[in-house]
């Protein structure tokens, strides 16, 4: 086949465009198997530690999945949620993160990795891999986790509670939720799919108490919530209760499945942010489709988790690989 000078130029351009597209697809320098050469056993080490942990403490699956979300939404997926501060000024001590648990598990995984490959695997990647492994441990989907994130050096108490750029609160309405996801490159489908993470785990009564006792400040209940469900929740959660936990997906809160979407459509979503998914045509249609026969939730969850895992990542020579996840080097 003869190439003219012109068609060769077009060919080179096509290759360049393809290379650029695949770079983008891999998420700004992240790729599946980033540690293939530098620490070939990395993912195996994570999954071995995690299966030991899940065998003795399965209730940590919820908090550890949630941890990746809280990490990625604040300063990108850079492990900033893990940093300690003697004066309690880091993200970890900010109100939305006070109910996170499992930081010691991330430390345990890191210790095992440091033994095998010192200074190689970032804490931000550990959080991402652990989120996948706990999903699998609760019978949820498997997805290939892109790795290559580096750890950030900054973590601020004020970031998670910033009204615009902070974590979406449990009382967020659909407009706020869509905005919060959109500003991080996640679309409406990602919003409904990732909210499906609430198929596992627990919530403090205080995160939805207003729906039971004081919805508009007049001692009323949330009219959008099933009144029988409200009556049941009131038995568990008394006013101003700061300690009691309720299952997000009662009946199957230990299993990653689509039953939470089923509850939401029956007006039994526990958080206002979940109930809000009925107030948008796209999220509502997804809920209905996912509880019918052709559910794509499991596949979609993996896709959206990969997208979430790309938010604001540090790669290449940015940031650092921490030696210990709770402090910068
Ligand atoms: C869409 C916006 C979201 C809001 C407003 C939200 C809010 C909350 C709140 C308030 C809790 C209960 C915390 C407590 O009181 O202890 C919770 C729990 C949880 N969230 Fe979300 N969340 C959102 C998205 C996500 C995403 C994207 C994921 C992961 C993919 C996720 C995973 C979880 C899990 C697994 C739990 C249970 C944690 C446990 O068992 O301790 N959430 N969420």
Tell me how far the alpha carbon of residue 230 lies from the centroid of ligand 1, in angstroms: 20
Model pLDDT, residue 293 = 77
Ligand 1 centre distance from Cα of residue 37 (Å)? 35
Q: Is 66 in the pocket of ligand 1 (CB under 6 A)?
A: yes
- Mean predicted confidence (pLDDT) in 69-82: 98
Q: Is the pLDDT of residue 8 over 80?
A: no
- Give the pLDDT confidence score for residue 21 in this predicted structure: 38
Task: Report the phi/psi class of residue 312: left, alpha or beta, with left for phi > 0 and alpha for psi in -120 to 50.
Answer: left
**Contact (CB, 8 A) for 289 and 295:** yes
User: pLDDT, tens digit, for every residue of 34-64?
Assistant: 999 999 999 999 999 999 999 999 999 999 9
- C-beta 63 within 6 A of ligand 1: yes
Mutate to test the pocket of ligand 1, among 60, 64, 66, 97 (most ligand atoms within 8 A of CB): 66
Residue from 24, 68, 70, 204 carrying the catalytic annotation: 70
- For residue 122, pLDDT over 60 is answered with yes
Q: Is the pLDDT of residue 86 over 60?
A: yes
What domains can you pick out in the chain, each with its CATH number?
31-161 (1.10.520.10), 174-305 (1.10.420.10)
- Whether 68 is catalytic is no
Residue nearest to atom 7 of ligand 1 (CA): 170
For the segment 295-318, the average pLDDT, to the nearest whole number, is 98
Question: 105, 130 in Cβ contact below 8 A?
Answer: yes
Interval 92-112: pLDDT, tens:
999 999 999 999 999 999 999
254 lines ligand 1 (CB under 6 A): no
């Amino acid at each position: 086949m003869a190439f003219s000078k012109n068609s060769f130029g077009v060919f080179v351009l096509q290759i360049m465009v393809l290379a650029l597209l695949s770079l983008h697809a891999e998420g700004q320098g992240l790729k599946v198997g980033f540690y293939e050469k530098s620490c070939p056993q990395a993912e195996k080490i994570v999954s071995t530690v995690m299966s030991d942990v899940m065998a003795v403490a399965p209730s940590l699956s919820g908090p550890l999945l949630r941890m990746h979300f809280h990490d990625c939404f604040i300063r990108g997926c850079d492990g900033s949620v893990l940093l300690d501060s003697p004066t309690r000024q880091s993200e970890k001590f900010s109100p939305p993160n006070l109910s996170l648990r499992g930081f010691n598990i991330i430390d345990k995984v890191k210790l095992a990795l440091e033994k095998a490959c010192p200074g190689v695997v970032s804490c931000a990647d550990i959080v991402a891999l652990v989120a996948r492994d706990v999903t699998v441990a609760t019978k949820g989907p498997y997805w290939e986790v892109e790795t290559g994130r580096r750890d950030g050096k900054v973590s601020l108490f004020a970031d998670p509670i910033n009204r615009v750029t902070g974590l979406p609160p449990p009382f967020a309405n659909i407009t706020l939720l869509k905005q919060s996801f959109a500003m991080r490159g996640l679309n409406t489908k990602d919003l409904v799919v990732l909210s499906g993470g609430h198929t596992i785990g627990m919530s403090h009564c205080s995160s939805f108490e207003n729906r039971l006792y004081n919805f508009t400040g007049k001692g009323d209940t949330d009219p959008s919530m099933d009144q029988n469900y409200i009556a049941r929740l009131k038995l568990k959660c008394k006013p101003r209760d700061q300690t009691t936990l309720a299952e997000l997906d009662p009946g199957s809160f230990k299993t990653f499945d689509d039953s939470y979407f089923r509850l939401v459509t029956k007006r039994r979503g526990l958080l206002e942010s979940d109930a809000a998914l009925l107030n948008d045509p796209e999220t509502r249609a997804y809920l209905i489709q996912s509880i019918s026969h052709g559910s794509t939730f499991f596949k979609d969850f993996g896709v959206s988790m990969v997208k979430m895992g790309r938010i604001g990542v540090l790669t290449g020579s940015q940031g650092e690989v921490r030696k210990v996840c709770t402090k910068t080097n």
